[in-house]
Structure 1
Amino acid sequence: MHTAEKLSSPYLPEPATIQKITPLTETEKLFLISLDSGRSLGHVPGQFVEVSLFGIGEGPISISSPPSPDNTFELGIRAAGNLTRALHNLKVGDRIGIRGPFGNGFPVETLMGKDLLFVAGGIGLVPLRSLIKYSLEHRAAFGRIMILFGARSPKERLFTSELAEWAGRKDVEFLETVDRADDSWKGNVGVITTLFKKITIDPRKTAVLIVGPPVMYKYVLLEVKVKDVPKSNVWLSLERRMKCGLGKCGHCQINNYYVCQDGPVFAYPQIEDKEEAL
């Protein structure tokens, strides 16, 4: 079989090269990647790729950037296991394997014309950033852009330069909080749901995009309900459950859904009655 034919298989990784590595926190790094073929990844915000290292393994990683004209893409990676720790040890110029993009991303066309309320908890900002940056690059296509971000502590805040940029923009409403402050922190203290009382929205015009740790979802959804946002205007990502990316291993199955294929982004009405989803 020719190489071109092999690379067309969703089961086979495509070689890619690390172009840049940016430390984000003590445990997270941002990797700028390009496919060696020179082609565009062809993703939409909210999708993911399978990243592999020969001799180590493979795992799903959220894409943290919108489509780029230079055909690069960014992956925010936390060192938490054998694969991710090995990725953190790589250098610029090292090569990795990429499969994808996979999954169902955010419904960009449906969101156009709406006010956007982003709710990001911790590392949930990594996948949500792809849509935040997309909406800012196409600012005229959307109404208000509101971003709520919560981190456990000041030192765990991600993309700090971008947080400052969003906070300084007149066309963005940005609020953040930390669960536990230190002596340097002068901002809000408390869980992310405490930020909801600081915003006023038009519920019929507002789309809510939520990504964060599992424990966050039910409490954020309660706040969204208080704001009277229709359930059909709420989207969540359940990416944490994925493994193979192809709906074959069953690891991410929730009733009749495969998160890696039907998600990771779901409209809330799709999963509200699936107890194990949230």
Structure 2
Amino acid sequence: MNAPLAATLTDKRELSPDTALFSIQLEEGASQALSAFIPGQFVQLSVPGGGEVPISPADVPTAGGKLDLCVRRVGHVTELLHSARTGTRLGIRGPFGTGFPIEEMAGRPVLLLAGGLGIAPLRSLLFHLLRHQEQFGQVTLMYGARQPKLMLFREELAELAGKSALRLFLTVDFAPELPTGNFSCTVGLLPDLLKGFSFDAGRSYAAVCGPPPMYRCLMQELEEAGLPPERILVSLERRMRCGVGRCCHCAIGQKLCCTDGPVFRLSDLKGIPEAL
């Protein structure tokens, strides 16, 4: 197992009461290693005194070595990260796992479906598609959250939709308060956005990431719309722990999420009852 490479926490932006976007400056060795990153892959982030945690970068690392990680406070390691100050030394290993088949998706329309924190792994794919817009077809993002204040990157997404060819659809389970800022959303579940939505299922790819209860409904809607299961890409990063296939915590049948995934084709998960 490779030793963690050095990185430094340079900025932290609160996105919701328990989630923040951390900007990390990679040192030369880590920057070189992560230059091979493909959207959908993950890194192992180590925090002094806490240990390691697998995180899917929220964007492709820049040429200057800047890496964005969207992290929810859910345990000891992430609690330490949220409490860390600018300048804290961190460790990075990776990239690990399989990413989205970018080259195969070239020239095709892409539909991204994100629920809750699932927007984080899809953000790196979204940014790649928009930065290389001439290489892909229409890009559509459907994003659902429990309520407006828990919707991550909402202002950023609204700005992207206003300046690019991105088609953006936002929804919340319920709205106890009116949305603020320059964005609007419907009230309903994410699968409801797909009902009656017209897209070229014969050519499109779909990328999906979100909480476990969301997957079955979305898979059914996508297949009923005519999208072949081999072009439905599912990120299951939530299942990982060690990140290198040793603890088997992320086993899905005979597959390991951290080495065979975290991005799977739906066709590869057929017949595995516990997969979704």
Structure 2 SS opposite 1:123 = helix
Structure 1 residue 129: Cα displacement: 0.3
Inter-partner Cα distance in structure 2 for 1:158 and 1:122: 8
Within-5 A mapping of 1:125-274 = 125-169=119-163, 171-185=165-179, 187-197=185-195, 199-274=197-272
Going from structure 1 to structure 2, the CA distance change for 1:187 and 1:161 (only over 3 Å counts) comes to closer
Larger displacement relative to structure 2 (175-184 or 35-44):
35-44
Find the partner of 1:58 among 49, 52, 61.
Answer: 52
Structure 1 residue 244: Cα displacement: 1.1
Inter-partner Cα distance in structure 2 for 1:198 and 1:163: 23
Inter-partner Cα distance in structure 2 for 1:137 and 1:170: 10
Greater than 3 Å deviation, 4+ residue runs: none
AA in 2 matched with 1:265: V
Structure 1 residue 198: Cα displacement: 5.1
Q: Which residue of 2 aligns with 1:37?
A: 28
Verify the 8 A CA contact 2:253 2:275 in the aligned structure 1: no
Verify the 8 A CA contact 1:44 1:67 in the aligned structure 2: no
Verify the 8 A CA contact 1:178 1:191 in the aligned structure 2: yes
Gaps of 5+ in 1: 1-9
Structure 2 SS opposite 1:29 = strand
Structure 1 SS opposite 2:16 = coil
Find the partner of 1:94 among 84, 88, 91.
Answer: 88
Q: Which residue of 2 aligns with 1:5?
A: none
Aligned length: 269
Q: TM-score, normalised by structure 2?
A: 0.94
Structure 1 residue 54: Cα displacement: 2.6
Verify the 8 A CA contact 2:117 2:152 in the aligned structure 1: yes
Q: Which residue of 2 aligns with 1:21?
A: 12
Q: Deviations over 1:140-184 (max 9, x none)?
A: 000010100000000101012212113324511110100011231
Find the partner of 1:113 among 107, 131, 143.
Answer: 107
Verify the 8 A CA contact 1:167 1:175 in the aligned structure 2: no
Verify the 8 A CA contact 2:158 2:168 in the aligned structure 1: no
Larger displacement relative to structure 2 (177-186 or 84-93):
177-186
Q: Which residue of 2 aligns with 1:4?
A: none
Inter-partner Cα distance in structure 2 for 1:260 and 1:60: 9
The alignment yields a C-alpha RMSD, in angstroms, of: 1.4
Inter-partner Cα distance in structure 2 for 1:54 and 1:28: 20
Verify the 8 A CA contact 2:234 2:266 in the aligned structure 1: yes
Structure 1 SS opposite 2:46 = strand
Larger displacement relative to structure 2 (77-86 or 53-62):
53-62
Structure 1 residue 33: Cα displacement: 1.2
Structure 2 SS opposite 1:76 = strand
Going from structure 1 to structure 2, the CA distance change for 1:98 and 1:67 (only over 3 Å counts) comes to closer
Inter-partner Cα distance in structure 2 for 1:68 and 1:276: 37
